[in-house]
Amino acid sequence: MIILTIIFSVLFLFAIIYIITLKTQQKKLFYNLNKIFNDALNNDISKISYDESVASALDDKIIRYINTNKDFLKNSESEHNSIKVLISDISHQINTPLANLILYSELLSEKEIADESIKQIISDIKQQSEKLKFLLDMLIKTSRLETGIITVNNIKNQPVKPLIAAAVSEIYPFVIKQNINLSVDIASEISAVFDMKWTKEAIYNILDNAAKYTINGGDIKINVTAYEMFIRIDIIDTGIGINSTEYTEIFKRFYRSPNVREYKGVGIGLYLSRKIIELQGGYIKVNSEINKGSIFSVFLPA
């Protein structure tokens, strides 16, 4: 009985020593990991200590992993800067000859030309040049946003009414031409947190989409509603509508529904709008019914 007691006492003592040792090693491991990550944040990675323990091997692997990622980030930043330069070069090199092409076609169209076929060719050159310029501008805007050349950083709390007025003023000539009824319902005191320039771009793109797919004599309504945490801008049209299976697809870059192939467009506007709104902490929802119209709801932080 005494021998059993001694054996159990020794085993119990060993168990206590093992637990203490384990906790000490665990504490050392957490201390080392904490130091590694702190050093990584301060851009100062160094080896803690070298021995044959599993903890030391783990330290070494974490350090090598962090250093590998630092090299990857450095290379990514270099590529990112190269893309910025490339986009700026493309913008400058292509926009100038395109603008000249449009200008020359306008000058030619003002001349007295008897041959109707030549006049039509000049008109086609102007239209195609304007279409190409529009596409190039949208692509460059999208690329600049994605690469961080342009950032949505002038975000502040401001009235929403001037935002709606600015977007409407740009789409108004097209709306009048298409004989579309456009109405706005907004209280002057409603405000939200947004960047004026880029949010106007987002709202205009949605309005352009609504006007493009609404037949002559149709309606477009803009309703702004204020809530406690956000404001909602509803853009309601009586256009051709969108299939519910395409609600996600329409916000993808270059996506165009099979139902709108005969309409002008390149499939960038809605993609750009969603990106702009999401960069400001907002989001866009859509609800639609074929042949009855669509509602695009833009939510911005209040």
Superfamily of domain 155-301, CATH level 4: Histidine kinase-like ATPase, C-terminal domain (3.30.565.10)
Residue 300 clears pLDDT 90, i.e. is over it:
yes
* Mean pLDDT confidence for 180-204: 91
Q: How confident is the model at residue 19 (pLDDT cuts 50, 70, 90)?
A: low
260-278 pLDDT per residue, tens: 666 666 677 888 899 889 9
State pTM to two decimals.
0.60
Between 14-18, 19-23, 61-65, 187-191, the lowest mean confidence (pLDDT) is in: 14-18
Q: How confident is the model at residue 154 (pLDDT cuts 50, 70, 90)?
A: confident
pLDDT for residue 230: 93
Please give, one letter per residue, the 3-state secondary structure of the chain. Answer: CHHHHHHHHHHHHHHHHHHHHHHHHHHHHHHHHHHHHHHHHCCCCCCCCCCCCHHHHHHHHHHHHHHHHHHHHHHHHHHHHHHHHHHHHHHHHHHHHHHHHHHHHHHHHCCCCCCHHHHHHHHHHHHHHHHHHHHHHHHHHHHHHHHCCCCCCCEEEEECHHHHHHHHHHHHHHHHHCCCEEEEECCCCCEEEEEHHHHHHHHHHHHHHHHHCCCCCCEEEEEEEECCCEEEEEEEECCCCCCHHHCCHHHCCCCCCHHHCCCCCCCCHHHHHHHHHHHCCCEEEEEEECCCEEEEEEEEEC
pLDDT for residue 269: 83
Mean pLDDT over the full length of the chain: 76
Residue 10 clears pLDDT 60, i.e. is over it:
no
20-79 pLDDT per residue, tens: 665 666 666 666 666 655 665 565 555 444 444 545 555 566 666 666 666 666 665 665
Residue 15 clears pLDDT 60, i.e. is over it:
no
